[in-house]
Amino acid sequence: MAKKFLGIHVIAELHGCNPEILNNPELITQILLKAAKDAKVTVVDYITKKFEPQGVSAVVVISESHITIHTWPEIEYAALDFYTCGEEDPEKAVREIAKELGTREMTIFKATRGNISKIKKILKQKKENGDDEKNEARAKQIQVLL
Amino acid sequence: MAKKFLGIHVIAELHGCNPEILNNPELITQILLKAAKDAKVTVVDYITKKFEPQGVSAVVVISESHITIHTWPEIEYAALDFYTCGEEDPEKAVREIAKELGTREMTIFKATRGNISKIKKILKQKKENGDDEKNEARAKQIQVLL
């Protein structure tokens, strides 16, 4: 079956995590890089930032898109994203990261991105109508409270 | 009114963009950094990566979380994220970025992240039950096709 979308983006809300791990930039970087390896994605580069008095942000750029985490050790919460256009569903890697962080409860939101039939349709419309249609970008909006 | 969540994450699907802009890493970096400035967030660091034969990934870490973009010039598509725990809703900045990229059609998905009442509830449960409850992280899952 042909692919229907370019990628899968998992957005995870991690609650009741281990605050010491959430405040350790080296350990968090190591956990994300291991997850990238396990998910068979290719790491391009990464940034880790420790905030004062607490909190870590880590971003891993992968050839297939990105992995990001932002942590709030004081409330044992972390916001994790794993977005990949590779062949592997990142959900398994997200669960592994959650486990490493001692997560007690997690909400996963999964979005498929880059709807291929929609991309083709809009390319076709643009080819037919040229650039004459200078309307401002139309936006459909969906909202979710995680 | 007290804040109900820590941050807002806008996920945008950009269709029918200008392929030359989508393939220009310097310009894309400049557009994201300008958007960060306009949205009054603080840039910590950034990574831009140009892929061959085409495509750009750019990630901007901000004190308030992150801005990311991944582009497919050959199909005039880009996947944009702006996640901030600052006071400003990032939707305006996302629309500005879309405009700069010559976007013809856009889908915006907006998620509020870090539900404060849920965070407090789980912290309270953990305090009452200790670490005895060693269940694997429960996960509620939501799926959306953008």
Residue B66 · residue B83 · CB < 8 Å? yes
Which is nearest to B45 in space by CA: B62, B32, B67?
Answer: B62
Name the residues of A annotated as catalytic.
65, 70, 85
Q: In this predicted model, what pLDDT tens digit does every residue of A72-122 receive, in sequence order?
A: 999 999 999 999 999 889 999 999 999 999 999 999 999 999 999 999 999
Q: Is B69 on the interface with A (CB under 8 A)?
A: no
Q: Which two tokens stand for residue B57?
A: 């990934």
Q: What is the mean pLDDT of chain A?
A: 91
- For B71, nearest residue in chain A (alpha carbons): A65
Residues of B in contact with A112 (CB under 8 A): 143-146
Alpha carbons B54 and B25: distance in angstroms, whole number: 10
Q: In this predicted model, what pLDDT tens digit does every residue of A2-37 receive, in sequence order?
A: 789 999 999 999 999 999 999 999 999 999 999 999
Residue B137 · residue A103 · CB < 8 Å? yes
Say yes or no to pLDDT of A136 above 90. no
Tell me the residue length of chain A.
Answer: 146
With an 8 Å Cβ cutoff, are A112 and B45 in contact?
no
With an 8 Å Cβ cutoff, are A139 and B65 in contact?
no
Confidence at residue B146, expressed as pLDDT on a 0 to 100 scale = 56
What mean pLDDT do residues A126-130 have?
Answer: 82
Query: Chain A closest CA to B132's CA: distance in Å?
Result: 11
Q: Which residues of B72-102 are buried (b: 16+ CB within 10 A; e: fewer)?
A: bbebbbbbbbbbbbbeeebbebbbebbebbb
Percentage with pLDDT > 70 across chain B: 88
Confidence at residue B41, expressed as pLDDT on a 0 to 100 scale = 97
Which is nearest to B56 in space by CA: A44, A4, A58, A72?
Answer: A44
Residue of A15, A137, A142 lying closest to B119 (CB–CB):
A15
With an 8 Å Cβ cutoff, are A72 and B104 in contact?
no
Say yes or no to pLDDT of A140 above 90. no
DSSP element (H, E) containing B112: strand B105-115
Confidence at residue B83, expressed as pLDDT on a 0 to 100 scale = 98
Which of B9, B15, B70, B117 is flagged as catalytic?
Answer: B70
- For B62, nearest residue in chain A (alpha carbons): A57
Q: Is A137 on the interface with B (CB under 8 A)?
A: yes
Confidence at residue B141, expressed as pLDDT on a 0 to 100 scale = 64
Q: What is the mean pLDDT of chain B?
A: 91
Which is nearest to A61 in space by CA: B109, B34, B46?
Answer: B46
Query: Which residue numbers in chain B have pLDDT < 50?
Result: none
Write out residues 80-109 of A within 8 Å (CB-CB) of B: 81, 83, 85, 95, 98-99, 103-109
Confidence at residue A1, expressed as pLDDT on a 0 to 100 scale = 56
- Collect all residues with Cβ–Cβ distance below 8 Å to B124 and sequence separation of at least 6: none
Confidence at residue B1, expressed as pLDDT on a 0 to 100 scale = 56
Give the number of A-B residue pairs with CB atoms closer than 8 Å: 217
Confidence at residue A132, expressed as pLDDT on a 0 to 100 scale = 57
Burial of A143 (0-12, 13-18, 19+ CB in 10 A): exposed
Say yes or no to pLDDT of A135 above 70. no
Chain position carrying tokens 């990105």: A66
Confidence at residue A53, expressed as pLDDT on a 0 to 100 scale = 97
Phi, psi dihedrals of residue A17, rounded to the nearest 5°? -80, 170
Alpha carbons A12 and A40: distance in angstroms, whole number: 20
With an 8 Å Cβ cutoff, are A138 and B14 in contact?
no
Helix, strand, coil percentages in chain B from 3-state DSSP, rounded to 5 = 30, 40, 25
Collapsing DSSP to helix, strand or coil, B120 comes out as helix
Q: What is the reported pTM?
A: 0.93
